[in-house]
Amino acid sequence: MRKQIAAANWKMNLTLQQAEQLTHELLASKRNLGANQLVVFGVPFPYLLPIKNTLQGNGNMYVAAQNCSDKKSGAYTGETSAEMLKSIGLKYVIIGHSERREYFNEDNATLAVKVDLALANDLQPIFCCGEPLSVREAETQNSYVEKQLNESLFHLSADQARYFVVAYEPIWAIGTGRTASSDQAQEMHAHIRSVFASKYGEDVANTISILYGGSVKAANAKEIFGQPDVDGGLVGGASLVADEFASIINSLK
């Protein structure tokens, strides 16, 4: 059975004190995690170790970095390498979030390098893909997303492909209050899985968790997560509210 994942992306929010309080509130909330269900916290770099330590002993709960450098090491002031993330015991790293693509000009080739460095350091990438509104309106979203996958991931072997998570982000639905319908989410997730199947075969495609990342809330999580090819969510604003995110976690299949 594919892993069902509730992943929080805190982005550039919260002080350390607020982050620790949020984590404690979430741990105190009622959660029902099954063996195939995971919670991943994508937290700002300064909080990686404190939050990781806070989660110690809570099974199926992990911390992820929100990014890593496309350089192995060297004179790159302000950057954080995949090797550094490995050295503090992380398991996950978010790669290719739409904000990194848009604001920091990260292209598919750069993201391919990041994916390679993550895998070389035993980090499981949560690879983000998705289309802007103009592409959705032109009804070319399938080919747009397929190009992102092809140029960033499909140089990998089938064995490597089993080690990452994909997060589909309809960019037009991030922070806008607009949400893709559950049918729209399922349609794209099914397409993404079919693209992986064409490249690596059905067996590999059916092991890859594909998350939905577009304004997921407690009110819509159960319907979206209930779709057959939706394996959870990459959650932004709603993950900053303990009760809201706890409800989202409990909506996992």
Residue 164, pLDDT score: 87
- Whole-angstrom Cα distance, residue 151 to residue 139? 21
Q: Give residue 94's domain range.
A: 4-249
Q: What is the dihedral of CA 92, 97, 100, 103, to 10 degrees?
A: -160
* Helix (H) or strand (E) run with residue 125 in it: strand 124-129
* pLDDT tens track for 3-41: 999 999 999 999 999 999 999 999 998 777 899 999 999
pLDDT for res 149: 98
Residues 6+ apart with CB under 8 A from 76: 69
Low-confidence ranges of the chain (pLDDT < 50): none
Per-residue pLDDT reduced to its tens digit, 90-124? 999 999 999 999 999 999 999 999 999 999 999 99
What pLDDT is recorded for position 177? 66
pLDDT at 173: 80
CATH number at residue 241: 3.20.20.70
**Positions marked catalytic:** 97, 169
How many domains does the chain fold into? 1
* pTM score over 0.85: yes
